[in-house]
Structure 1
Amino acid sequence: MSSSASADLHAGSPDDALEWARARGVGALAEKMGFEWVEFSVERSVATIPVEGNTQPVGLLHGGAYVVLGESLGSMAANLHAGPGRLAVGVDINATHTRSATSGRVTGVCTPIHLGRSMTVHEIAITDDQGRRCSTVRITNMIRDLSAS
């Protein structure tokens, strides 16, 4: 999708935004972890990762895996909000893990808390296959113009 096409994503269909996200990619780490998009828009983004292959030595989903899922969702949503010619970069992230996933997939649902011109804040609720919350991630992104050095 061209950058001029991405300018119309706010008014475009959710399918266009999901196509943009898939074309842009989520980066090598999230790809290695098995990141899969489910839904993508400024208002709500959803993705999953498998537990298998992303565990600690004791068989629990690694805490860092929750954070990678959350950061990938929040940063991509912030960049969609930022629009063409602008870039959102993470400046703060935190996670509170409240349950351990040991099998299946976990699902992250990202919703905005604040969508400003220069900053976004997103909350990502990550649940297991039974819908139980395992982790809550919050990410703050700074938005800057690409023309600024």
Structure 2
Amino acid sequence: MIQVQQENFQVDDLYNNLLKANQTGAVVMFVGLVRQFSDLSKQACSFELEHYPGMTERNLQAIVDEANSRWSLLDVSVVHRVGRLSIDDQIVFVGVSAAHRAEAFEACDFIMDYLKSRAAFWKKETQGLESRWVAANTNDEKSLERWVK
């Protein structure tokens, strides 16, 4: 399941959707939150995530397809919010179910690394009356190096 939405999501519902009767040995989940301090402003009050409908979902599907080609996964769920978000809001959920924990951990980590660098999202931080678009993070790009075959 891949969803891009403005609404918040319920982690327990997403978790339950990943369970496959008598097959699931592991579920690994990641939930990203809006933190108090950003890399640029150190005091971001809120930010806005924009996306290109259709293209963003295709990007996410390609990332999930690649994860499925590398590991034997039972199910993958990616939910990413867009719109205006504030401190402590949930931004992204990535959940992976597999027969074994190693595959679930690696696939979840892979999906998040690629989502941070390759998915079609744009972030604008706002502090007071000032807003700025956030550039790509070099650490996120560096994280991709370990996944190159």
Report the TM range for the smaller structure's normalisation: 0.3 to 0.5
Bigger fraction of residues in helix: 2
Report which of the two structures shows the higher radius of gyration computed on alpha carbons. 2
Normalised to the residue count of structure 2, the TM-score between the two structures is 0.34
State the structure with bigger RCO (CA 8 A, min sep 6), 1 or 2: 2
